[in-house]
Structure 1
Amino acid sequence: MRSIRTRSSDSKQGLPGRAAGRRRRWPRLRWVAAVVIGITAAATTAFVLLGSSDGPTAPRALTSDEVNRLAITRFLNYQAAGRGVTITVPNAAGGLVITGSIDYRTHTGYGVVRGTGRDTSSDGLIQWTATTVLVHPMTDPPAAAPASPPASGWYSRPLRTSGMTLDSALAIVLGLGSDRPDNAALLPQSGAAWVGQGKVNGHQTDIMKGPDADSKASASGTVRYWIGSDGTMYRVQASIASEPQPVVFDFDTQTYVPVQPVRGVTPAP
């Protein structure tokens, strides 16, 4: 009987040991499950964030409404007389940023140009047409170009239509206004397509791939327009053959100021 009690006692003593073993394993199982759930949640969150981000997606054909908006977007710039614009021009030394206005009736641009990175040699005022670039060098240019351009200190040169990223950008932005709408029937045949959606300065836009704003100036291929629901142009991105990075034109970054021509300066031939 004593040996039976001993076996019974041993058996009772063994049960807590097995139970304790199970208690030690369960926390590990719960920890593994928590990690799996956490990873799954993180992956789901990442998918939602990536899936909801604005920007270019797979191209598709334009709807009739999108074709009509793309067809009138340059004409609306002309109707507005002019637009405030910021032009970002990349280059190996850092790039240039031009902040100013474009008069789409006279096809004249005017503003402040500043270099970024190592490129500050072009800082100053700039005015241009389809044939001529006028530059007024300044070591400390103002935040905005004076409404009346200075009467002296300008240098004139011809606008180059190829081989120079800055001049190509200047020509392209002048071409973003037209005195008549584009032919909506021909736009789909020229490769126009819807490529995504995005916001520009708080404006919801459709991103559309369109024909070159100026085939001679861009000499590349891809021009993308960020267009609002009423056809207003808010951003344009254009590829240029002389530069691997695109030039970007952001509209309404500041108030449009009517462009006054530089007096007493003879344009370059």
Structure 2
Amino acid sequence: MAALLVVGGGSGPSGPRALTSDEANRLAITRFRNYEAHGRAVTITVPGTAGGLVVTGSVDYHGKLGYGVVHGTGRDTSSDGLIEWTATSVLVHPMAKAPAHAPASPPRSAWYSRPLKSSGSALDSSLAIALKLGSDRPDNAELLPQNGAAWWGNDQVDGHRVDVMTGPSSPDRSGTAGNVRYWVGSDGTMYRVRVSVGSESQPVVIRFDTQKYVPVKPVPGVTPTR
């Protein structure tokens, strides 16, 4: 399950306990559900010691492309603007007065491209994690409990009854069982994910269906490296 997901947090869980067969099956398909939907509307809350960032937009899990608008929280507006990203690159379009939602069609100019940082940036880690929450095939339900996935409790997200479950250890990182927490519906739909990144004391929170999904369009004239 997305090896780079590293972290935690929760809201009053009553577990942990071993997953039932049904819970393991739903956790196994939750990333596949995102892929089945083609894309999801997301709000990504990124922590930061100098103030946080909130990315409001959409992720296309077939195209492996995200697009949205960034707003600072508790900080100045120097980081505000539009953003589009892949697993390896980030395009930013600074805006002094960024809109609440990104325009359906990205502007044709004034974009700046840079590589997506694999470490040292809470924003870039959050963007990479958001893309990893979709998969073109289910995970192995039988292996999840064996590798440390667990049930932590029940909750409600925007009127949906969900189970709160933690993911298994990463294949290349021992001792990480329970480090990512998923809020999963009765049909395997993912509604929320909490993950910690780097040295930040607060987790990244990724919420789904926070607004209407808008299909992601590439920045005109730019072909980001994937």
TM-score between both structures, scaled by the size of structure 1: 0.75
What per-residue deviation string (whole Å, max 9, x for no partner) do you get for residues 215-237 of structure 1?
A: 79xx9971100000111000000
SS, match of residue 13 in structure 2? strand
- 8 Å CA contact 1:89, 1:166 repeated in 2: yes
CA separation of 1:212 and 1:139: change in aligned 2, threshold 3 A = farther
1:178 to partner: Cα distance = 0.2
Aligned: 1:90 with 2:22 = no
CA distance in 2 between counterparts of 1:90 and 1:251 reads: 18
Aligned to 1:131: 88
- Cα RMSD (Å): 2.1
CA contact (8 A) 1:212 1:221 kept: yes
1:237 counterpart residue number = 194
Query: Following superposition of structure 1 onto structure 2, how do residues 156-167 of structure 1 map, counting pairs within 5 Å?
Result: 156-167=113-124
Bigger radius of gyration: 1
> Which residue of the other structure, out of 41, 63, 70, is the alignment partner of 1:113?
70
Structure 1 letter corresponding to 2:131: L
Q: Which residue of 2 aligns with 1:205?
A: 162
Among residues 27, 38, 59, which one is paired with 1:70 in the alignment?
A: 27
Identical residues among aligned pairs (%): 70
Output the CA distance in 2 between the equivalents of 1:106 and 1:233.
19
Unaligned runs of 5+ in 2: 1-10
Shift of 1:241: 2.3
Instruction: Give, in angstroms, the shift of residue 58 of structure 1.
Output: 2.6
2:106 maps to which residue?
Answer: 149
Match of 1:254 in 2: 211
Q: Which residue of 2 aligns with 1:228?
A: 185
2:88 alignment partner AA:
T
Counterparts of residues 10-89 of structure 1 (less than 5 Å):
55-89=12-46
Change in CA separation of 1:71 and 1:101 when aligned onto 2, cut-off 3 Å: same
Shift of the alpha carbon at 1:126? 0.3
User: How many residues are paired up?
Assistant: 214
* TM-score computed with the length of structure 2 as normaliser: 0.89
Shift of 1:243: 1.1
Q: Is the contact between residue 157 and residue 268 of structure 1 (CA under 8 Å) also seen in structure 2?
A: no
1:176 aligns with 2:141: no
Change (3 A) 1:159 1:264: same
Which runs of no fewer than 5 residues in structure 1 stay unpaired?
1-53
1:205 CA drift (Å): 0.5
Cα distance in structure 1, aligned partners of 2:30 and 2:38: 13
Task: Give the 3 Å change call, closer, same or farther, for CA 164–214 of structure 1 in structure 2.
Answer: farther
Secondary structure at 1:240 match in 2: coil
What amino acid is the match of 1:235? R
Contact 2:42-2:210 within 8 A present in 1 as well: yes
* CA shift in 2, pair 1:158/1:248, >3 Å: same
Per-residue deviation at 1:212?
A: 6.9
Whether the 8 Å CA contact 2:58–2:68 is kept in 1: the answer is yes
Conserved in 2, the CA contact under 8 Å of 1:124 and 1:138? Answer: yes
> The residue matched to 1:70 in structure 2 has which SS?
helix
**Greater RCO, CA 8 A, separation 6+:** 2
Query: Is the contact made by 2:147 and 2:177 (CA closer than 8 Å) also made in structure 1?
Result: no
Equivalent residue number for residue 185 of structure 1: 142
1:263 to 1:215, Cα distance in 2 relative to 1, 3 A: farther
Partner of 2:153: 196
CA distances 1:37-71 after superposition (whole Å, capped 9, x unpaired):
xxxxxxxxxxxxxxxxx731230000000000000
Q: Quick check: which one's helix share is greater?
A: 1
